[in-house]
Structure 1
């Protein structure tokens, strides 16, 4: 029996909804912060005593951060009669698996919107295309350039510009490199403090598209953050998620002022838009699975978000006191995005290991 399962094989199994037990053998704290949707936690040092509690009716994919301990655990379980496999490369490798889904809300004529879901990391990239004019826009791409380039080439989309809604701190942006590859503008918010020449979204984007695009200043998560409104879609960056909101302590030391800005951006700007608009954030705060789009109407978000229409500022301040530790290596990642220079030799998988953690999630709210 093979001892490992590749991330792509695991993706295929999950996509087909084949019976599979996801067994995460990391410690409880690591598991509570970041995990595969639907997985159960049995720490590595307890398997030897508790393996009998695991059913033999399903195949088992054993998961750890880098695929080392999971090999030992899978081998042990196989010796005990289980059909167990170690996830090759662990969550470190799973972090680079994408699911591409089309958003088809109400079948808007002449528009196509695709969501590129980076399942492990929680990153969400968008391709917006106006089929009538043939104009397309790529929003918040990661450095996995070939994922976007191959899809766009295969489907014959013509991209006019690549946009980052803010300077990211959890992953290296692929925006500048993709724009250079295609010979098109790379656009960032005009208040971005970067160390390279770049065109601003506010000045350049409206001139590139025949369809109206509203650009809203929504600072807070970062001082420069913007949201884009195109028809009934609102691309909110990391200001507003489906179920929570962006944290305000990653860009610099002035988190208190940025926190006020974020509260205002959500409550007074984004929540003032049409309730029927669809919120399309740059990240998911929850573990994702193949298939469903990560989106909701603004009506839903205003009611069920952690920061909802009834949330008072004092309540909000209590929420932000309880946030998780920041993304791994976020200062290094942010500096790479600010400088615009990507190191020639570095372990990107290790640098970006972990969830995005760009959102506020109270410490006692465990995702499993």
Structure 2
């Protein structure tokens, strides 16, 4: 019988630098758009048999003396290939259950402790690069969650592990690349769900308590201050954690800024870019340089690697260093807008429908569609 390994097993094997060959059976265009690091493309069908030519190729790219794993979109074609290879003489071949869909739902955590009292747990979604946070005070025994994904149990577990009670759930904005777990988590706990007051302009139909620019929430003795930082979206707010950090959502990443046409469209992208220019220079440029930037995403390359960190390590950097290293910072408005609206990368998968769901004006048909809608990397940066 062919062995089956989970996406978690695969991630641990990669991190432990175990020796194996990973064969990706999806179509070439899917592979080239997004894959697990180190995967080799070998398109294969759910009922296909191995030809002599394919066997020759496999012996070249996946020698039989080395363990082989197969992966596909959801675990069907990869299982077929694993069975065929086993019958053809490979001794150690296994399939990854759930395929890229399970890889897409895998999280890693890192901890940032800016003071004796404060603890910030960063949740990094390994395949997509989405980042979310539990921000807590040990002395008060309280915490807030920022930008939660739909897998809400992990925030409850992290809070319980640290004897923290979640008192509020915050989103920085209406997300375009993943379905928010904000309202669901807030409802489950019976606590407020907060968005920036500009969300009224997005016709958000989900119940939320608006946060005004400059309004504060207490995390123990430290203020968490909402800062209006539009550009990527009109209602986007960042959250300054005292003199320690700023949680920037999609307004500012450690190596880029958020694109503007996902809300505003191609025709309105320039207006969004002008907002982003003002945010970058007048808001972030006026903050203390020693604040740690904790962004809403890490860029995931098409080969599946994280651009600015390793999975499981903290994605964050000193604000002054982020701005110094950002080619967009310091440009005049016209040049900035040109750069922001020029040659843009591929948009997030299904972003228009994801936005409608996060606004509360639509909902997924079922759990399968929810997973499908989020498939792929985040693609929210310029």
Q: Which interval holds the TM-score relative to the shorter structure?
A: 0.7 to 0.9
Are 1:39 and 2:38 an aligned pair?
yes
Q: CA deviation at 1:39?
A: 1.7
Q: Which runs of 5+ in 1 are unaligned?
A: 361-368
CA 266–51 in structure 1, closer or farther in 2 if over 3 Å, else same = farther
Q: Quote the residue 1:221 is aligned against.
A: 232
Q: Is the Cα–Cα contact under 8 Å of residues 236 and 280 in structure 1 kept in the other structure?
A: yes
Of the structure 1 ranges 13-22 and 222-231, higher mean CA displacement relative to structure 2 is found in 13-22
Mapped partners of 1:223, 1:277: distance in 2: 24
Q: Quote the residue 2:90 is aligned against.
A: 81
SS in structure 2 at match of 1:335? helix
Are 1:163 and 2:170 an aligned pair?
yes
Mapped partners of 2:184, 2:213: distance in 1: 21
Q: TM-score, normalised by structure 2?
A: 0.84
Q: CA deviation at 1:227?
A: 0.9
Q: Quote the residue 1:141 is aligned against.
A: 148
SS in structure 2 at match of 1:221? coil
Aligned CA RMSD, in angstroms, stands at: 2.7
Q: Quote the residue 1:366 is aligned against.
A: none
Of 145, 149, 154, which aligns to 2:161? Answer: 154
Of the structure 1 ranges 214-223 and 340-349, higher mean CA displacement relative to structure 2 is found in 340-349
Mapped partners of 1:13, 1:88: distance in 2: 15
Mapped partners of 1:183, 1:234: distance in 2: 26
Q: Quote the residue 2:316 is aligned against.
A: 295
Mapped partners of 1:72, 1:326: distance in 2: 32
Q: Quote the residue 1:195 is aligned against.
A: 205
Are 1:273 and 2:306 an aligned pair?
no
Q: Quote the residue 1:70 is aligned against.
A: 78
CA 42–80 in structure 1, closer or farther in 2 if over 3 Å, else same = farther
* Aligned pairs for 1:234-273 within 5 A: 234-253=246-265, 254-273=268-287
SS in structure 1 at match of 2:216? helix
Q: CA deviation at 1:237?
A: 0.4
* Aligned pairs for 1:100-111 within 5 A: 100-104=109-113, 108-111=115-118
Number of residue pairs matched by the alignment: 357
Mapped partners of 1:110, 1:296: distance in 2: 21
Q: Which runs of 5+ in 2 are unaligned?
A: 45-52
